[in-house]
A = this chain, B = another copy of it.
Amino acid sequence: MATRAKPTRDLMLAAAKKHVMSKGFAGTSIDDILKDTGLTKGAFFHHFKGKADLARQLVVDYATKDLAMFVAWDRQSREESDDPLEQVILFLKYFEAYISNSNDPAPGCMYAVYTYESSQFDAEVLTFVSDSLARWTSLNVRKFQEVLDRYKPVKPVTARQLAEMVISIVEGGLVLQRAHGDTDTTKRQSEQFRNYLSLLFPKG
Contact = CB atoms under 8 A, between A and B. Distances in A.
Contact of A119 (B23, B25, B26): B23
A192 B24 contact: no
B176 A189 contact: no
A90 interface: no
A129 B196 contact: no
A109 to B, nearest CB: 8
A22 interface: yes
Number of identical monomers bound together in the oligomeric complex: 2
Contact of A180 (B108, B134, B172, B199): B134
Interface stretch (A8-16, A61-69, A70-78, A160-168): A160-168
Chain A interface bracket (under 10, 10 to 19, 20 to 34, 35 or more): 35 or more
Contacts of A181: 130
Nearest to A156: B195
Contact of A176 (B22, B133, B155, B188): B133
A200 interface: yes
Interface string A192-204: 1001101110000
B24 A179 contact: no
A40 interface: no
B23 A178 contact: no
A179 B129 contact: yes
Contacts of A141: none
Interface of A: 21-27, 106, 108-109, 111-120, 129-130, 133-134, 154-155, 157, 161-162, 164-165, 167-173, 175-176, 178-181, 185, 188-189, 192, 195-196, 198-200
